[in-house]
Amino acid sequence: MSMKPENLLGYICGIDKTYEVMVIGIFIKNNSVQLLGPDGSHQVHSSNNIDMDGYKREAAIVWNLIDMFEIARDLASAPGGLAELRSGMQTALNMRCEFWDHLATEILSNQLANPA
């Protein structure tokens, strides 16, 4: 399937295991759906090739994404779409900060419990 702009349905955005926002393009032609991510394209399995929830389920499995949302093609460059993306980026930043805070607390606790 060619990844032509006219085949672009929209985008799935989600947070990966390193707490970065990943943007996945959704391309449709006839009855075939492909997701285009940072590692290339992926053909959506027929069980998920029904609706946006199925595309998101597939992206979650393939790219190990959490906290996902979609942005329609028409809204991608509109203020609403950009605000949604900024919100997702803020959520990722918050999750990253929580992870590092937890890790630092755990390290300090271990050092205090087991002084050298």
Average pLDDT taken over every residue of the chain: 85
Question: Which amino acid is present at 29?
Answer: K
Q: How far is CA 16 from CA 59, 66, 84, 106, 116, in A?
A: 11, 6, 17, 23, 36
Write out pLDDT tens, residues 43-99.
999 898 889 999 999 999 999 998 888 888 877 667 777 787 788 788 888 888 888
Around Cβ 23, how many Cβ atoms within 10 Å?
A: 15
Question: Residue 31 pLDDT > 60, yes or no?
Answer: yes
| pLDDT at 34 > cutoff 80 | yes
pLDDT at 1: 54
Residue type, 109: S
pTM above 0.85, yes or no: no
